[in-house]
Amino acid sequence: MIVWCAYCQTFQGEKAPIDAYALTHGVCASCEARAAIDDEAAVRAIQPIVAFYARLRAQAEASAAIPARALLDEAKSLGIAPIDLLWGMLQPLLYEIGDLWSQGRVTIATEHRFSMNVETVLDAIAETLPAPAPARRGAVDFLLVNAEGDHHVIGVRMVDLFLRMRGRSTFLVVPGLPSREVLALAGELEPKTIGVSIALPEHAVRVREIVDGTSGFLRRPRVIVGGWAVKMGLSLDLPRGAEPIADVHGWLPR
């Protein structure tokens, strides 16, 4: 379930069942503390958000083109910040359309078209952010990569935008990069953290190569792991020192 605060209309995170994609309303901590408006008004206030989400879902399922700029403008007019649109609507929709595809209820073309469309939204959001500073040694907070063999770029691109919106400096390379190149980049840039996205359990071996490869570094980076395999809670053979992060939105405080 996708939980939004009915009062301030911000995405709060997901709750079980994780594969049910209905948008439901809750109350965030700060609104609860302020007791801003009464319950009835809150339920009314969330209705446009629910309707907006339902329409987006229908467009995705119908393979319709969703113009990125217009989408961002409409979200803004509803008080939805780009970051909440990303994590609270586009991300769950990507998973849902993927599920519908695996059940044979939409075609691969529909799934691909929606993914392409989401990428245009990511581009439009990226344009609104300050251009990243040139990557300098020691000045990169996060080196973000797909594991070699992983071609699912949207998730790691979303994480990149999410971190940049929070003022973190990132260096993103997608799709999949051989571990030796990840290590070479890490040696050059000395990032504080390496974020590796893995789609499948078999990609865990790449994480091991990266963790092992950084053991001789003077300033050893933290290694975090995300991606479909982590989010779905699959059993993964991750090396000691690699931190799986299933919920990026909840991981870094707003």
Give the interface with Zn ion as residue ranges (CB under 5 A).
Answer: 5, 7-8, 28, 31
d(CA 72, CA 70) in angstroms, rounded, equals 5
> Nearest 5°: phi and psi at 31?
-70, -35
Bridge partners (DSSP) of residue 83 are: none
Min separation Cβ 27 and Zn ion, Å: 6
Min separation Cβ 14 and Zn ion, Å: 16
Cis amide prior to 175 (ω within 30 degrees) = yes
Min separation Cβ 49 and Zn ion, Å: 12
Give the nearer residue to Zn ion in terms of CB position, either 28 or 85: 28
Residues in the chain: 254
Which tokens go with 102? 């695996």
d(CA 2, CA 15) in angstroms, rounded, equals 7
Give the nearer residue to Zn ion in terms of CB position, either 34 or 76: 34
Give the nearer residue to Zn ion in terms of CB position, either 12 or 214: 12
Min separation Cβ 243 and Zn ion, Å: 29
Cβ atoms 217, 187 nearer than 8 A: yes
Give the nearer residue to Zn ion in terms of CB position, either 27 or 238: 27
